[in-house]
Amino acid sequence: MTKESVTNELGLASQTVADWMNSCREVCGDECLAFDGKFGGVGKVVEIDESKFGKRKYNRVRRVEGKWVFGGLLRYSNECFFEVLDERSADVLLEVIKRRYYCNFRLLVVI
């Protein structure tokens, strides 16, 4: 739902809607980062991915300075996790997967 549609539907000021949306986004982010347990298991599919968040100067094609975020989502549920990482080497990512997942896993790479 866009900020404009909420503003029009509820008749609120644009800045009020923006503040509430930012607050909700922050709460969701805090909850995802706060979850420190394990999930998954036999017969469960966990989708994982990593992304780098940063800013490019002047829209130039070059390396983006920022943080790597690695996360997983248990398919067909609301369970997820996110971790901010300094590097995304295979050793670091596998350590996170082993720490977060309940059982031995089979790694399926989809590009």
Q: What is the mean pLDDT of residues 93-111?
A: 69
* pTM for the whole structure: 0.58
* pLDDT for position 34: 72
Q: What is the mean pLDDT of residues 42-48?
A: 81
Cβ(70)–Cβ(48) below 8 Å: yes
The H-assigned helical ranges of 11-106 are: 14-34, 90-100
Q: What pLDDT, in 10s, does the model give residues 51-62? A: 887 776 676 666
Sheet holding 80-85, edge to edge: 46-55, 65-74, 80-85
Question: 91: which residues sit within 8 A by CB, 6+ positions away?
Answer: none
